[in-house]
Amino acid sequence: MAATPVSSILERIAAAGKSYEGDERGSRETLIDLGRDLVAALEIPSEFLQRSFWAEPALSAHCKLAVNVKLFQHLRDAGDAGLSLSSVADKTGVETSLLQRIMHHLNAMKLVTFSNGNFYATTLSNGLAEERYQQSIDFCYDVARPSFNGFPKFFKENGYKTPADLRTGPFQAAHKSDLAFFDWLVATPPHLAEFDAFMSAYRAGKPNWYDPGFYPVTERLVEGFEPNNNEVLLVDVGGGRGHDMSMFVAQHPQHPGKVVLQDREPVVASIADKERLPFECQAHDFYTPEPIKGARAYSLHSILHDWDDERGVKILENLKPALTPGYSRVLLNEIVLSEEHPTIAATSMDMMMLAHMSVRERTEADWKEIIEKAGLSFVKVYTYPGVAESVIEAELAEVSQP
């Protein structure tokens, strides 16, 4: 296939730029993607090597160093006044000559700017100065990156096959452990906290599934709600400490019925001030039958992608006895990997799952297969421009009469 002409890419960038100025949904992400198209069309192999294997790994290392010495916070706090090299050195304790080289690279990579003898923060570096992103950098550099670096050796020794067990993947090889990923996190508390921060930061700045224009909450959940069938509107299965449910209630304060958060006993027990929450909490393991019968909807946010198909089917099967035919809905908030136009957000998460869990992200066909194996019926996929995750709606499959 012939390469896309640069002129065509530039025309699309101009059109996307107008959409961005008009605040159209997904236009920012489209511009970023087109920027990558332009680089791919213009970059020669030597430049690709320099960027991919020198510049970007060095940038990651510098970001980790920046966390250690609070570099981004110092630049943020300086504001429009900026900081001289010597001032940055004094505040961080980094040798001036070393710091100068690091700052030059951060400037070249557009993470900071330099003018009239001073270095200045950028919108991006100020964002990275937030605590959740500081911990995310620690997690990505110390936990995730070694797993990726070990890919070539691991797969060569493994016969270039997908790991068959979640305890024998690239993550275990990199960290010399026989623990599954989540068990390892629990055993290494600093990394558990970093992972929690990473997950909270992962979706930050993106619309949630219950926001306007994404999944039609009013049409599909509120309308048709039957309190006589069950007073529960929504059950968040495996919902952690309730981030999703708090945001759902805030977005839909007039919702009918109850909203219930479910997770394992230790997780629910760790939630403070439960009586003040705008939802109920219930201890439940999704590997056991769902105790709330006949709710309008059961939401599972990024649950099934942590498990292989067999376990995923089991989780869905445990919902089946609770579902009311023609009424209850199952909402899977998951990545639906496009085969024709995969996005970096989707494929990078797929690589994360391969590295750490020995599982995968799924295509629409994959989702249909796992849903139907569980005895449910695939209804529809709802998407939002620029958001990696979709809402996959399913319901109890109709049983044909003999």
For residue 71 the two structure tokens come to 């570099």
CB neighbourhood size of 397 (10 A): 16
Q: Active-site residue numbers?
A: 305, 334, 361
From the centroid of its chain, how far is CA 215? 18
Host H or E run for residue 162: none
Burial class (CB in 10 A: 0-12, 13-18, 19+), 33: middle
- The candidate with the shortest Cα–Cα distance to 151, out of 169, 166, 136, is 169
Query: What is the C-alpha separation between 104 and 123, in angstroms, rounded?
Result: 18
Beta strands per DSSP E along 276-382: 280-283, 297-301, 329-335, 376-382
Query: What is the C-alpha separation between 87 and 54, in angstroms, rounded?
Result: 28
Q: Which residue has the tokens 């003018």?
A: 115
Q: Which residue has the tokens 């020198």?
A: 54
Q: Which residue has the tokens 């020794």?
A: 157
Which are the contacts of 391, defined by CB distance < 8 A and separation ≥ 6? 209, 214, 215, 331, 332, 333, 381, 382, 383
DSSP category for residue 304: G
Query: What is the C-alpha separation between 124 and 122, in angstroms, rounded?
Result: 5
